[in-house]
Amino acid sequence: MCQPICKCIKKAFGRRVKKKIVRINSREMGVNENSMIKTEKEGKSLRISEMPSTPSKLKTETLTEIYRLPSREFTTVEEIVASQGFEMNNELGKGAYATVFKARRLRDNLLLACKVMDIGKASQSIAGKNEIFTMEHINHPHIIRLYKHFIVEYDHNQKEKRSRSMYIFMQLAEGQSLSDHMKSKPTGLPEDVCRRMFAQTTSALKHMHDRRIAHRDLKAGNILLDKNNNCLVSDFGLSKIARRKDNSVIKSTKYCGTMLYMAPEIFMIKEYGMDYDPFPTDVWALGVLLFFLINHEYPYTNPILEQALAHNFKFSYKKQFDPSNELFDLLYRMLHPYADSRLTMPEIYKHPWCAKELSAVEEAIIAKDKCQKVTGLADAKFEADLGVNTSKPKDIETSDSSSKSVTPVKSKISKKNFSKVKLHNAPKVFSQNRLSPNSTPVSTKVSQSRKVTTTKSPHSSPPQTTVGLATETSSPNPNEKSDSTSTSLGKN
Report pLDDT digits (tens) over 122-136.
778 888 999 999 999
Per the structure, the complete domain to which residue 235 belongs is given by 178-368
How confident is the model at residue 135, as a pLDDT?
Answer: 94
The residue ranking higher by pLDDT, 291 or 446, is 291
Confirm whether 160 is domain-assigned: no
Residues making up the binding site: 115
How confident is the model at residue 396, as a pLDDT?
Answer: 56
Confirm whether 205 is domain-assigned: yes
Q: How confident is the model at residue 57 (pLDDT cuts 50, 70, 90)?
A: confident
Confirm whether 267 is domain-assigned: yes
Confirm whether 245 is domain-assigned: yes
How confident is the model at residue 72, as a pLDDT?
Answer: 87
Confirm whether 386 is domain-assigned: no
The closest alpha carbon to 119, from 256, 215, 237, belongs to: 237
Residues making up the binding site for ATP: 115
Contacts of residue 184, Cβ cutoff 8 Å, sequence gap at least 6: none
Confirm whether 157 is domain-assigned: no
Confirm whether 437 is domain-assigned: no
On average, the pLDDT of the chain sits at 73
Contacts of residue 65, Cβ cutoff 8 Å, sequence gap at least 6: 150, 151, 406, 408, 443, 444, 445, 446
Checking if the pLDDT of 409 tops 50, the result is no
pTM of the complete model: 0.68
How confident is the model at residue 303, as a pLDDT?
Answer: 86
Residues 412-421: pLDDT tens digits? 434 344 333 3
How many domains in the chain? 1
Confirm whether 290 is domain-assigned: yes
How confident is the model at residue 478, as a pLDDT?
Answer: 41
How confident is the model at residue 61, as a pLDDT?
Answer: 77
What CATH number does the domain containing 283 carry? 1.10.510.10
Checking if the pLDDT of 427 tops 50, the result is no
Checking if the pLDDT of 149 tops 90, the result is yes
Using a pLDDT cut of 70, give the percent of the chain over it.
Answer: 63
Contacts of residue 143, Cβ cutoff 8 Å, sequence gap at least 6: 135, 204, 207, 208, 232, 233, 234
Residues 283-331: pLDDT tens digits? 999 999 999 999 999 999 888 999 999 999 989 889 999 999 999 999 9
The residue ranking higher by pLDDT, 474 or 209, is 209
Helix locations, 168-302, DSSP H:
178-183, 191-210, 264-272, 278-295
